[in-house]
Structure 1
Amino acid sequence: MKTLTLLRHAKSGWDDPALRDFDRALNPKGKRAAAMMGTHLRSAGLAFDKVVASPAVRVVETLAGVESGYGRTLAPAWDRRIYLASAVTLLDLVHAVPVATERLLLVGHNPGLEDLALWLVPMSEEPLRVALEAKYPTATMAEMTFDGEWGDLAPGAARLTKFVRPRDLDASLGPDED
């Protein structure tokens, strides 16, 4: 059984309107959420054989925060194709993962990650699927399992086993009131 974990970058700032989207950094809440998610990954005993991530600044900073909470280096392969990728492009990247990889962490952006998760997990009234469909907030992780090889992964073939939002770990990391 293979495990695919999708992690959306943490909350970034919009303080500098002249800054390219690619170069936006995390805001303070995003930095806290990234570290909190890393602590959660460690406490849940999650490990990854391979990590592939967008090289956008907010993803790089998210992974730095996750590593600080996780307590170990994730050593991602940076892949620019993930930056603002569609679900189809992300699935193509997953299909190319080496067969020996059992647990993949893919770190990137919405709407691609959310669309991919919704595409891979069949419609149902299961609480995790309902939460996924409602919203895929920043710094949220979705874990899916499936039988077969990476190249076999197809829409509707995965089972959503975890869906963890920062606010599930610390209510102060929930939606802003503004």
Structure 2
Amino acid sequence: MKVLFLVRHAQSSWDDAMLSDRDRPLTDKGKRDAVKMGKRLAERDVVVDMILSSPAKRALATAGAIARKLDFKRKNIVQDERLYAGEVDELLQVIQALDDKQSRVMLAGHNPALSELVRRLSGKSTNMPTCAVAELRFDMKSWSKIGKSKLEKLVLKYS
């Protein structure tokens, strides 16, 4: 069984027009929502083997807040540039290249790519709001088959 958690970053601030898109921080609400989502996942006994994040400040902060609640060391979060502005095909390449020793992987990134990825993998159209988590379960042994075989279960969680 392979379990993929797709996390859209929490609400980010547009207050400082001088900041680059990559450097936009979370709002106070975004910080609270990320902690709340991490707590909800922890209460469900979610365990992840790996967390990959976009290098954007808001995605890393969301991944970090969730990681803390899941007892996953923040220093072990892997940044992947392809999750920042990646298209769906790039995201699929990231997933398909994962080490098969990892069974439960979390990706923290951005819309519209994450919503489109959920649609492509599940056949269900959805728009992931900020700090939403999609849990996708696949009955297979290799990540390389993701996107080529049937999804077993989709669960959407909203903060």
TM-score (norm 1): 0.82
- Which amino acid in the other structure matches residue 163 of structure 1? L
What is the count of residue pairs matched by the alignment?
157
- How many Å separate the matches in 2 of 1:115 and 1:122? 10
Q: Which runs of 4+ in 1 moved over 3 A?
A: 67-72
Once the two structures are superposed, residues 79-130 of structure 1 have per-residue CA deviations (whole angstroms, 9 ceiling, x without a partner) of 111102111100000000011111111111111111111100034xxxxxxx
- Pick closer, same or farther for the CA change 1:71–1:152 going to 2, 3 Å: closer
Q: Which residue of 2 aligns with 1:86?
A: 87
Q: Which residue of 2 aligns with 1:172?
A: none
Task: Report the Cα offset of residue 73 of structure 1.
Answer: 2.4
Task: Provide the alpha-carbon RMSD of the alignment.
Answer: 1.6
TM-score (norm 2): 0.91
- How many Å separate the matches in 2 of 1:153 and 1:64? 26
Task: Report the Cα offset of residue 65 of structure 1.
Answer: 2.0
Q: Which residue of 2 aligns with 1:135?
A: 127
**Which structure: larger Rg?**
1
Higher RCO (CA-CA < 8 Å; seq separation 6+):
2
- How many Å separate the matches in 1 of 2:7 and 2:105? 11
- How many Å separate the matches in 1 of 2:39 and 2:59? 17
The runs of 5 or more residues in structure 2 that have no matched partner are none
- Which amino acid in the other structure matches residue 48 of structure 2? F
- For residues 1-178 of structure 1, the aligned pairs below 5 Å read 1-74=1-74, 75-123=76-124, 133-148=125-140, 149-154=142-147, 157-166=150-159
The runs of 5 or more residues in structure 1 that have no matched partner are 124-132, 167-178
